Amino acid sequence: MIKMNHLYKTYLKTWPALKNVNLEIDRGEFVFLTGPSGAGKTTFLEIIYLEELPTRGDLYLFGDKIKKYSYNKRAKLRQKMGVVFQNFKLLFYKTAYENLELAANVVGFSPQKAHKRILEVLNQMRLSHKINTPIYQLSGGEQQRVAIARALVTHPDLILADEPTGNLDPAISKSIIKVLEQINARGTTIIMATHDYDLVNNYSYRKLHISKGKIYE
């Protein structure tokens, strides 16, 4: 599903964020990406969801080699992915439903299909009772579950989670990982970046470690 060959990402021409990354991630995998702050975890994810393009090397996504794609082509590829952030990136004055509706409309779901799918994922995230609640009235854990629901609403093949438990307490963090595990069990590939080694050590999934832009298995 994802393949990187001798991939480099350099900022400001001299500052390397990723150095000679060679790896392959298969469909249905659950991968933890660990590393200290500033190690390159976010850059790694940004390269995958095409927010950034590699400076050098080859990147394959869903079997296609990524070249210098136009904005719209990258957008179409992004529709196959769901992204979850540490700071949720939700519209705080909109309801959980409206936040999900935004994503459903972007991919062109009909109102009926969007409605059905939104209810389905909110139910899956156990948020059916919060459907019309504005985001600012939800707890941190609930907000993160809405963010995951938004990532799921478009039936993505891949979910990228950038420190999704960074702002949450350990119990809620575990519940978020449990949600991600359930999603993974349905065949969706998950890549989760975190600097919380204790949390990761509780699981037996594949672990990648990133340090100063280099990735180690």
Stretch that binds another protein, among 23-31, 84-92, 135-143, 172-180 (CB under 8 A): 84-92
Residue 75 touches another protein, criterion: CB under 8 A:
yes
Q: Which span sits near another protein by CB under 8 A: 30-38, 71-79, 123-131, 167-175?
A: 71-79
Among the listed residues 1, 4, 48, 103, the single contact to another protein using CB under 8 A: 103
The verdict on 128 binding another protein (CB under 8 A) reads no
Cβ 18 to another protein shortest distance, Å: 18
Residues 6+ apart with CB under 8 A from 43: 9, 17, 18, 52, 213
> Rounded to an integer, what distance in angstroms lies between the CA atom of residue 6 and that of residue 20?
4
Size of interface with another protein, in residues (CB under 8 A) = 27
Is residue 111 a contact residue for another protein (CB under 8 A)?
yes
| Sign of the four-CA dihedral 23, 87, 112, 182 | positive
Distances (CA, A) of 49 to 14, 81, 209: 23, 7, 19
* Matching residue, tokens 């575990």: 174
Q: Which of 107, 131, 172, 200 binds another protein (CB under 8 A)?
A: 107
- Between residues 7 and 50, which has the closer beta carbon with respect to another protein? 50
Residues present in the chain in total:
217
Q: Which of 15, 37, 63, 72 binds another protein (CB under 8 A)?
A: 72
Neighbour count for residue 29 (Cβ, 10 Å): 17
Own/partner contacts of 69-74, CB < 8 Å, gap of 24 or more, are: 74/50
CA gyration radius for the chain? 17
Asked whether position 105 contacts another protein by CB under 8 A, the answer is yes
Q: Which region among 7-15, 32-40, 72-80, 188-196 touches another protein (by CB under 8 A)? A: 72-80
- How many C-beta atoms lie closer than 10 Å to residue 166's C-beta? 16
Give me the residues that bind another protein (CB under 8 A), please.
Answer: 49, 51, 71-72, 75-83, 89-91, 102-103, 105-111, 150, 154
